Copies of this chain bind each other. A is one copy, B any other.
Amino acid sequence: MAEFNLEHDLREALAGIGRAIGQPHRLRLLELLAQREYYVEQLAELSSLTMASASQHLQHLRRAGLITVRRDGRQMAYRLTDERIIDLLGLVRQIARSQIAEVERLLSQLFPNDPDLTPLVALSQAELVQQMEAGQVTLLDVRPGAEFEAGHLPGAINLSLAELEQHLDSLPKDQSIVAYCRGPYCALSHKAAQMLQARGYQVQRFEDGFPEWKRAGLPIETLQRSSLNGTQHP
């Protein structure tokens, strides 16, 4: 390794970023950290990893320059170093979707179309902004409460899939509902939208998620909290 030249060393450093995003568990961690800062314990829980394993993956991501840590009491809070990492993940998703047949196949399984219903409409960012400006839309955030509290689309209401069935009456039947969640490959909003559609609601799905919205510089709302802890759903 030492006998190579500067350009090779430079590519070796760039390749480190590739390797960092080259593992499904680490992609999961990055998706979570794209929503908000999280403690190791929470990340381990949400990504079904042991603490030691999560810690090691987080350090791998840190060495690649994708995340940083700060100490908060006796816990370590990780977050993305850079908003451009949202763009990076988005670009990888786009390339994968158009160039890897397996991805398209998995997506159609993950987002199955109920044959009895009309296929869900996926709204682009621009279309959603337009509908919001027109004022005739209810935004439904299907992410865990902790992520909603850390930041959400203006005026959105937060109901998990489980809560949704209990609070159907708080949703308008005569107005369009737009569901969103963590990002384009997060199934939560799709499930929520299908359930609502089957019950006769006018529902659409935002094709991106909160991180992409925020990254685009569009307005967001936050609920203040004293600590990082918050309700956790899987």
A residues bordering B, Cβ < 8 Å? 6-28, 64-66, 81-82, 84-85, 87-88, 91-96, 98-100, 102-103, 106-107, 109-110, 185, 187
**A110 B10 Cβ-Cβ under 8 A:** yes
Choose one: B21, B64, B99, B107; the contact of A15 (CB below 8 Å): B21
**B19 A99 Cβ-Cβ under 8 A:** no
Distance, CA A25 to CA B12, complexed state (A): 8
Closest B-chain residue to A24, C-beta based?
B11
Choose one: B18, B26, B98; the contact of A21 (CB below 8 Å): B18
**A107 cross-chain contacts in B, Cβ below 8 A:** 10
Count of chain copies: 2
Distance, CA A22 to CA B17, complexed state (A): 7
Asked if A13 meets B66 with Cβ closer than 8 Å, knowing A20-B18, A95-B84, the reply is: no
Asked if A64 meets B100 with Cβ closer than 8 Å, knowing A15-B23, A15-B24, A18-B20, the reply is: yes
For the complex of A and B, the 3 pairs showing the least CB-CB separation, nearest first, are A65-B99, A18-B22, A19-B22
A21 to chain B minimum Cβ distance, whole angstroms, is 4
**A14 B96 Cβ-Cβ under 8 A:** yes
**A100 B24 Cβ-Cβ under 8 A:** no
**B110 A98 Cβ-Cβ under 8 A:** no
**A16 cross-chain contacts in B, Cβ below 8 A:** 22, 96, 100
**A8 cross-chain contacts in B, Cβ below 8 A:** 24, 28
**A/B interface sample: 29 pairs, CB < 8 A:** A6-B110, A8-B24, A10-B106, A10-B107, A10-B110, A11-B25, A11-B27, A13-B100, A13-B103, A13-B106, A15-B22, A15-B27, A17-B22, A17-B92, A17-B95, A18-B19, A18-B22, A18-B23, A19-B19, A65-B95, A65-B99, A66-B99, A81-B99, A82-B95, A82-B98, A85-B95, A88-B88, A88-B91, A88-B92
